[in-house]
Structure 1
Amino acid sequence: MADGRVVIGGSTGFIGTRLQQTYRAQGREVITISRAGADLTWTDQSGIDAAVDGAELVVGLAGKSVSCRYTPTNRALILSSRLDTTTALSTAIGRASAPPPLWVNSSTATIYRHAEDRPQTEADGDIGTGFSVEVAKAWERALFADDLPATRRIALRTAIVLGDGGVLGTLRRLAPLGLGGPQFDGWWPVTKARRAAGTAHQHGSGHGHQRFSWIHLDDVAGIIDFLEQHPELSGPVNAAAPNPVDNVAFMAAVRRALGVRFGPPTPRWMLELGAIAIRTETELILKSRWVLPGRLAEAGYAFRHPDLDEAVRVSLR
């Protein structure tokens, strides 16, 4: 098991909170960076420089949540919150007299296209189009932009993360109300402005057949430990469990874990109206994300939660 200081940027979110607990339980020094509620803020570049210098691991997780309406203001914040914080970490590493040997930075499995025909791996995946994909591409460019020869960099293309909170926290509340059924795609009018901005989900899989790639929070932590121990790995790495399912199967697993017998499907028009009401986007549930962990499988990573039913069950217990 690795030791030494860990710097976590974006430390107060779902993943960052868990990583803090994990590393402190291992006896490692942890320094956190966030907009608030952390050891350092993102405006304190000199503090970030000092924290990174001599660290063994830097983990970048910062970024405004994408669960919002993709208004021009929110789109700008989604992008800038990722690029500015990644640049701050890169600047600190470039200035360090003892740069960290590993920097793991968040990316997203959404970088791949809407895939219904075959799974996407790092070796043969097709990069998609649209606003979310452009954000992911820019985020990865910022990670690899500077010349940092002493620091190995990994873009962790993370699938939807399951655990006590996150998407399952929302479904825990909705499923008992009869809203735990599959989400059906269908036709919905797309304005010229949203089409130009790349923010409108185009009609894809019907009847809940959009693929659902996922990973348990335990495995996010486990993968970062594994990456520390495998210096041959760098560049993009898919953080996704090896057994993706479709939306119908995912929602059925949630209902089983919660003891909810019935969940009627929700059609696209209802999803769109609901997304407007709660200020989010239907792309988050209707895009077909079919991603496999090609490089992790080749390197021999053993998933702690490879089975969806078990992963959902332990998350909701």
Structure 2
Amino acid sequence: MKKFKKVVLAGGNGYLGQVLAKHYSSLTDEVILLARKPKTKQANIRTVVWDGKSEGTWAENLENADLLVNLCGKNVNCRYTPKNQKEIINSRVVPTRLLNWVLERLENPPKVWINITSATIYRHAEDCAQDEINGEIGYGFSVDVCKKWEASFFETSIPGTRKVALRMGIVLGSTDGVFPRLLNLVRFGLGGKQGDGQQYVSWIHEQDVALSTQWILTHPDIEGIVNCTAPNPIKNRELMRLMGKAYGISMALPCPTWMLSLGAWLIGTETELILKSRWVLPSLLLASGFKFQYPTADVAISDLVAQAKVR
């Protein structure tokens, strides 16, 4: 007998959504992905089409769900032009407000709603760690996005639904996200430090992301703001060194700040994504007793490099 009856993943057709769908498939009678495009049902995972902007028949699928995870949001790996800024904000705030509106009207709304937000809401920190209790909110566009995102999430209280804003670190996985891109740099001997390499990287292995959502689901005392990062952040230069060591490549040309700025301009992104020091700790998860499968970067990187080599 499976642990849960229904898990709904809004915006679940992306990388992290697929990680969660695979994880819950064996634990849940049914996994439902709310996505903009239809997809053939796979095992007990089915896709329901929605536009993320307006109510429709998709809403009935939220009735009696054990867990709703909202993963909606335009990729921030782009230039912060006025057009992109508007799309980045709206792609997060609009679906979140829509889900609030719909859940208010359900007879049996989801027991738990986890909204995936971002640990980049904290300030650039090289002096001390930031956590849910004493962390300081930063400034700039990416922080403003997070503040509006979380405000839209908490602006409505849903009786019977426990809410958690999960401030996610940089997710490391072998098939998508930042890790395969960094590994490509390592392969070509370009896996040295980026900038001065002193900026902290608050990361988390994709399997610990899935397990942390399950932990939150089964621990009713956890609610509000929760950081989702590994307990041992690492500096950029050490991260790149460990990746080179795990892959067996010693050549590692650094990428100075001026080169990053030029490269970011050429590929249409922002250097902030690489140079901001994110030193974030998951104090509430640790205090609740959650055990990370991959607490240190060397263990996580070894696992992901081994998977990449098999592929």
**Equivalent residue number for residue 65 of structure 2:** 55
- Residue by residue, what CA displacement relative to the aligned partner does 1:71-127 show, whole Å, maximum 9, x if unpaired? 111111100000111112112211110111100011100000000110001000000
Q: Aligned residue for 1:174?
A: 185
In 1: Cα distance, 2:257 partner to 2:90 partner:
31
Shift in Å, 1:57: 0.6
Tell me, what secondary structure is at the counterpart of 1:45? coil
Residue aligned with 2:49, SS: coil
Q: What amino acid is aligned across from residue 53 of structure 1 in structure 2?
A: E
- Residue identity in the other structure for 2:259: M
1:211-253 Cα deviation digits (max 9, x unpaired): 1110000000000000011101100100000111101111111
Query: SS where residue 95 of structure 2 aligns?
Result: helix
Amino acid at match of 1:107: T
Q: Does 2:276 match 1:267?
A: no
Q: 1:253 aligns with which of 211, 224, 242?
A: 242
Counterpart Cα distance in 1 of 2:57 and 2:214 = 25
| In structure 2, distance between residues paired with 1:183 and 1:298 | 33
Q: Give TM-score scaled by structure 1 length.
A: 0.90
TM-score, normalising length: structure 2:
0.92
Q: Is the 8 A contact 2:6 2:31 kept in 1?
A: yes
Percentage identity across paired residues of the two chains: 43
Q: How many residues align?
A: 295
Residue 233 of structure 1 corresponds to which residue in structure 2? 222
Tell me how far apart the structure 1 counterparts of residues 57 and 243 of structure 2 sit (CA, whole Å): 43
Q: Does 1:12 align with 2:17?
A: no
Inter-partner Cα distance in structure 2 for 1:113 and 1:34: 33
Task: Name the SS of the counterpart of 2:225 in structure 1.
Answer: strand
Q: Structure 2 residue aligned with 1:41, among 42, 45, 50?
A: 50
User: Do the aligned residues in 2 keep the contact of 1:119 with 1:290 (CA within 8 Å)?
Assistant: yes
**Secondary structure of 1:29's aligned partner:** strand
By how many angstroms is 1:208 displaced? Answer: 0.9
Give the aligned partner of residue 29 of structure 2: 28
Q: Which has the higher contact order (CA 8 A, sep 6+)?
A: 1
Aligned equivalents of 2:204, 2:232: Cα separation in 1: 9
Task: Please give the alpha-carbon distance, in whole angstroms, between the structure 2 residues aligned to 1:280 and 1:35.
Answer: 25
Range with bigger deviation, 281-290 or 169-178? 169-178
TM-superposed CA distance for 1:178, in Å, is 2.1
In structure 1, distance between residues paired with 2:273 and 2:248: 25
Partner of 2:143: 133
For residues 102 and 159 of structure 2, the distance between their equivalents in structure 1, rounded to whole angstroms, comes to 14
Extract unaligned runs of 5+ from structure 1.
Answer: 185-206
Q: Following superposition, which runs of at least 4 residues in structure 1 exceed 4 angstroms of deviation?
A: none
**Residue 302 of structure 1 aligns to a residue in which SS?**
coil
1:303 maps to 2:292: yes
Contact 1:2 1:228 in 2 (8 A): no
Letter in 1 for 2:282: P
For residue 78 of structure 1, the aligned residue among 85, 88, 94 is 88
Whether contact under 8 Å (1:254, 1:312) holds in the other structure is yes
CA shift in 2, pair 1:232/1:303, >3 Å: same
**What is the distance in 2 between the residues matched to 1:25 and 1:229?**
16
**Equivalent-residue separation in structure 1 for 2:235 and 2:102 (angstroms):** 41
> Where do 5+ consecutive residues of structure 2 fail to align?
39-46, 307-311
Counterpart amino acid of residue 23 in structure 1: Y
Cα-Cα RMSD: 1.2
1:16 is matched by which residue type in structure 2? G
Aligned to 2:123: 113
Superposition pairs of residues 64-103 of structure 1, within 5 angstroms: 64-103=74-113
* Shift, 1:258, TM fit: 1.7
- 3-state SS of paired residue (1:80): helix
